Amino acid sequence: MHARILVITILLVAAVDISIGTNILGQQANAQEDPVRELVSRLSLENYKATLKGLTQFGDRRQGTQRNRDAVDWIEAQLQSFGCTNTERITYMYPPEPTNTQPSAGGGRNRSREGGRRTPSDETSLTTATGGIVGRNGSGPGGSSIYGYRARSGVNRDPNAQPDLRIRELNLEQPTDGERQEVYCTKVGTTRPNEMYIVGAHMDGHGVNEAVNDDGSGTALVMELARILSAPDVQTEVSIRFALWNNEETGLNGARAYTAQREELQGIESPPGSGQYPEPRWLGMIQHDMMLWDHGAPRADGTVSRDQRPEADINIEFQSNSELADDSMKLAFFFKAAADAYTTDYPATVGPHMTNTDSTPFMNIVPSISLRENERGAHTGAGWNPTWHTPLDVWTSFTDKDFRLGLNAAQTTLAALAQLTRASVGG
């Protein structure tokens, strides 16, 4: 009787071992069959939210403040803890030297957006009885067209507008001029280390808030991609740089500093014969700026729905008037195809008005796109997001449906990058 029990026990243990072994082999086989799906499966809503929540401890991370510098240090430490240990920093001065309005790197102008808002003169008389603004053809930023009601938008830095005393105190320090820094790290390619894609988001914000959406949502996304692609069992043939820009809110100064300092270094082996390329040749630039809020257009009274709209989507934008518009458009549609194949909740759409974001300084140098919650010119600037640059951009303004839109944007970029860089998992 005891011998019989022993035999049964041995058989059960063996069956469990076989089951576990088969499961492991199955996972390995799946990773080899579709490494893209395996990588995308490593993204999770909770990890994304945790990284984003970590950024809120520094308030709005406004440039030129100690909270901004502390946030840069924290981001670098997190990247290193994720396995992206080869972190580096770009150092530059703000404000920059006057440029006499000549085009800066990438063909853009160094126009400050710190303070004040644009109010196109052709819209001043187009007001509704409720104070909303009605747009007409050509009235939107970036050459876009805006129809229907618009809500007034602009930076709100009134401390008294922030009811949360803790957040108000976090953001008390005002910026001072001087040295600025931003951090990046690199996944080095196995067979083409001399070429790379740049994946970016800006870590600074303003508006007496926690800068959750603008642009903690993009910053956390880029950091999560760095975590997954830096895992020891992941290889990419092409290099990937994860860049967290500073001074976006003052006129894209951090991204402009990067192009000014690094463009001429592309593809140069240093030291010669080392097989090391401090600045691999740029193949594409992918920016992420405001990833959470797609609640629809303002109502006639200027209010916006509290709920994510059923037709919410991820906007993938290129700039139709850039010198590399055709190549950028192709890159945008490649990302849309990745979204169609690998996202879990929301579809993606492609638009031609990539305005006022950190991919702008790159757009005449390399194919460049921007992922965001809404079209930058026609939607965000028309009041679709009441949290934009206001004290409402705090953790409690967003729900899991909002955070999931950001997660789907991460799935999109990860899936596209994995294909573009020929990523593999395991052996």
d(CA 223, CA 226): 5
Q: Which of 4-13, 45-54, 278-287 is predicted with the least confidence, judged by mean pLDDT?
A: 4-13
Using 50, 70 and 90 to split pLDDT, how confident is the model at 236?
very high
Average pLDDT over residues 66-87: 98
pLDDT of residue 375: 87
Q: Is the pLDDT of residue 362 over 70?
A: yes
Most confident of 132-141, 328-337, 353-362, 377-386: 328-337
pLDDT of residue 376: 80
> What radius of gyration do the chain's Cα atoms show?
23
Q: Is the pLDDT of residue 144 over 70?
A: no
Question: What percentage of residues in the chain have a pLDDT greater than 70?
Answer: 80
pLDDT of residue 148: 56
d(CA 134, CA 210): 31
pLDDT of residue 10: 41
Average pLDDT over residues 15-42: 65
Beta bridge partners, 187, equal 240
DSSP 236-285: -SEEEEEEEES-GGGTSHHHHHHHHHHGGGTT--SSTTS---SSPEEEEE
d(CA 214, CA 83): 26
pLDDT of residue 153: 76
Write out the two tokens for 241: 């740089």
Q: Which of 37-51, 135-149, 199-213 is predicted with the least confidence, judged by mean pLDDT?
A: 135-149
Average pLDDT over residues 39-66: 98
Tens of pLDDT, residues 391-420: 999 999 999 999 999 999 999 999 999 999
Average pLDDT value over all residues in the chain = 86
pLDDT of residue 100: 62
Average pLDDT over residues 115-133: 34
Nearest to 94 by CA among 229, 225, 337, 256: 256
pLDDT of residue 110: 33
CA distances to 93, 246, 344, 396 from 182, rounded to whole Å, are: 11, 6, 32, 28
Average pLDDT over residues 352-363: 94
Average pLDDT over residues 68-87: 98
Tens of pLDDT, residues 90-118: 999 999 988 664 444 444 433 333 333 33
pLDDT of residue 99: 67
Question: What percentage of residues in the chain have a pLDDT greater than 90?
Answer: 74
CA distances to 59, 160, 174, 255, 297 from 157, rounded to whole Å, are: 13, 9, 11, 24, 24
Tens of pLDDT, residues 165-189: 999 999 999 999 999 999 999 999 9
d(CA 177, CA 198): 28
Nearest to 83 by CA among 220, 277, 232: 232
Calculate the CA 376 to chain-centre distance: 14
Q: Is the pLDDT of residue 425 over 90?
A: yes
Tens of pLDDT, residues 254-307: 999 999 999 999 999 999 999 999 999 999 999 999 999 999 999 888 899 999
Q: Tell me yes or no: is domain 35-425 CATH 3.40.50.300.
A: no
